[in-house]
Structure 1
Amino acid sequence: MAFWYDVEKNEVVESHRDGLTHGNLMGPYDTADAARNALKTAAERTAKWDKEDEEWNDR
């Protein structure tokens, strides 16, 4: 089972298959909680990568 976060509807979508193609989905995630936190996780990763890029460019 996979979980997705539907950005348009702001809800978790559960599926027994990984290949969902409708909507604006993030995932798949292993748990509903991970899917529910998709936007937070994406923001944290982006901030981390931006910092790494800045450090790399300052060399």
Structure 2
Amino acid sequence: MSFWYNVDTGQVETDETRSRGEQVLGPYASEAEARAALDTAHKKTEQWDSDDRDWNERGTTGSATTD
């Protein structure tokens, strides 16, 4: 069974009770993972933003070749 986090209601839903649309995050393997969905998404976004900043600071001076 999969679990989903509904960002509109703040409730965890199952496959059987899942709302349709963009307001759910998931699927997650457990109810606990679904409850932590917003925190998980926030941490991942922070990491991706940091990775993007690092990438941009390195610039395009790598060894890429064009044919």
Fold match, TM over 0.5? yes
* C-alpha RMSD of the superposition: 1.4
Distance in 1 (alpha carbons) for counterparts of 2:10 and 2:25: 11
Give CA-to-partner distance per residue, 1:4-38, whole Å, 9 cap, x none: 0001000100125xxx5614110000000000000
2:6/2:19 contact within 8 Å kept: no
Tell me which structure has the larger Cα radius of gyration.
2
Question: Quick one: which amino acid aligns to residue 20 of structure 2?
Answer: H
Structure with higher RCO (Cα < 8 A, 6+ apart): 1
Question: Quick one: which amino acid aligns to residue 29 of structure 2?
Answer: D
Which residue in the other structure is 2:14 paired with?
Answer: 14
Which residue in the other structure is 2:45 paired with?
Answer: 46
Which residue in the other structure is 2:34 paired with?
Answer: 35
Gaps of 5+ in 1: none
Distance in 2 (alpha carbons) for counterparts of 1:7 and 1:36: 10
Q: How many residues align?
A: 56
Distance in 2 (alpha carbons) for counterparts of 1:58 and 1:11: 40
